[in-house]
Amino acid sequence: ILNVEQSPQSLHVQEGDSTNFTCSFPSSNFYALHWYRWETAKSPEALFVMTLNGDEKKKGRISATLNTKEGYSYLYIKGSQPEDSATYLCASFSGAGSYQLTFGKGTKLSVIP
């Protein structure tokens, strides 16, 4: 994998459903994986920064896992609410001393009331 890939590109879920989406990233020279939540007309909001293989982080109903050996991360949302509607971006940070984040295209989530 050369780029950061996210899937699906978009999805619609009913309120109350749980959902998850995937971020794939280059596993070589991996340093950190960032997840952002981006609502329309607002700033992307940092959700998680993950560095260790097997790491799992949780923030309310949202959680994320990380597999650095195979180069993927999952973001889970439990019991989706309309306010979860946003684009979820992941970004790979490679190499100590470099600040460059490489972004995926994002997964646009729409939660239907």
Partner 1 sequence: GAVVSQHPSRVICKSGTSVKIECRSLDFQATTMFWYRQFPKKSLMLMATSNEGSKATYEQGVEKDKFLINHASLTLSTLTVTSAHPEDSSFYICSASMGTSSYEQYFGPGTRLTVT
Which residues in 87-106 contact partner 1 (CB under 8 A)?
A: 89, 91, 93, 99-106
In the bound state with partner 1, the residue whose beta carbon lies nearer, of 11 and 49, is 49
At residue 69, φ and ψ (nearest 5 deg) are: -75, -40
For 12, half-sphere exposure in the C-beta direction (CA atoms, 13 angstrom radius) is: 2
CA distance 13 to 43: 24
Spatial contact of 59 and 75, defined as CB atoms under 8 Å apart: no
Q: For partner 1, what does the binding mask look like between residues 18 and 37, x meaning CB under 8 A?
A: -------------xx-x-x-
Q: How far is the CB of 14 from partner 1 (least distance, A)?
A: 26
2 near partner 1, rule: CB under 8 A: no
